[in-house]
Structure 1
């Protein structure tokens, strides 16, 4: 099971996440108003720090919609994963795939509110355009995206997964104590791992090794 922790802004957080046993580190760029949004040079610094741990793979997490600019940023930072966290269309995935080096993974977030996802009807189009995997995440009633601490219903997540031919990560308010809420999702053949943010943070709001380790241990233990 992959464990992705999102929203690092300091080298100390990078090392905390690596020490806790996570695999992927989300670094925000072009996330307007995001508390963890990074300029391109800082993104590159933290991506290098992640790779230097020998464990973490940095993931560029973005609301961006300019394929050429995103590919240039990914090349500058040396990130082999790009997560499109927003309502980008399949055409952007297609353009981005054409711009990126072979082997770069494109993750498309599917946003879920209640029991529906506005992108559900585009799953096949995203796959044809070059999406490698999906990430299922919950939105709030007022439309906020990402790091909302809102959870998905297990049956809704599993039903969306049934419509995919690509693997997926599960996000949305995941904590050490709620793994047992997702039996159908965890048993799905496409399930690849989890993505978390809030549950990995300490009292000061920074990513914390102990909190992250608790999360990793709980979700990797049957």
Structure 2
């Protein structure tokens, strides 16, 4: 599983529903909104081309504020080993999310649970693909875009999500307050991952949208 027992007890704030990761946070204020709204994890983006990129300095300030309240996930795309080492030396991550072409051996070597992103498109045998990452703690299923590794706001084709994956599914891709209820009802994911769907403009999180998203997650689970 994504969290060890101690982190699970600390960070899973509400039982009986899909967990929630608010990804692409860039400041302490919105991180606190995510915590106060009941999110289980936050994502910090360490991929420089992304509009949600944070420096290790910025990330360390956010982590210092919310450590122990939510799981802190670092998001990387084909990172150099030296870059990962630098981030890990400065930011107390609980897990790493890989969105590029990283293989299982590379993903395992950092000593943290890791999430592997699968960008869904027709014609791929994802049950077989998943076997290439036996060390993954979860698979994040996202929409495919040839020009971006994620965060596009494009709705994932839920019918392409494979059955029989060897670890839990995190659902991403175009999730918003107005469709998260249907997404959870249809897919029943272990975790949902939202970024652009709670932004007022690209890369800028909106407190009202975060709260609305969390309310809808709770509503569909009956909490």
Return the TM-score normalized by structure 2. 0.80
Please state how far the C-alpha of 1:153 moved relative to its aligned partner: 2.1
Distance 1:56 1:216 in 2: 14
Paired positions, count: 202
Rate the CA distance shift 1:87–1:205 in 2: closer, same or farther, 3 A: closer
| Structure-1 residue corresponding to 2:172 | 171
| Structure-2 residue corresponding to 1:123 | 130
Q: Does 1:34 align with 2:34?
A: no
Q: Secondary structure at the match of 1:126?
A: coil
Structure 2: gaps spanning 5 or more residues? 1-17
Q: Deviations over 1:37-61 (max 9, x none)?
A: 122222222222221xx52221101
Rate the CA distance shift 1:208–1:116 in 2: closer, same or farther, 3 A: farther
Q: Does 1:79 align with 2:93?
A: yes
Note the aligned Cα RMSD (angstroms): 2.3
| Structure-2 residue corresponding to 1:65 | 79
Please state how far the C-alpha of 1:91 moved relative to its aligned partner: 3.0
Return the TM-score normalized by structure 1. 0.81
Q: Which of 49, 59, 63 does residue 43 from structure 1 map onto? A: 59
Rate the CA distance shift 1:45–1:219 in 2: closer, same or farther, 3 A: same
Task: Decide whether the 8 Å contact of 1:154 with 1:185 is kept in 2.
Answer: yes
Q: Deviations over 1:125-168 (max 9, x none)?
A: 201xx11111001122x4322111111222212xx2x1311001
Rate the CA distance shift 1:68–1:192 in 2: closer, same or farther, 3 A: farther
Structure 1: gaps spanning 5 or more residues? none
Displaced runs of 4 or more, over 6 A: none
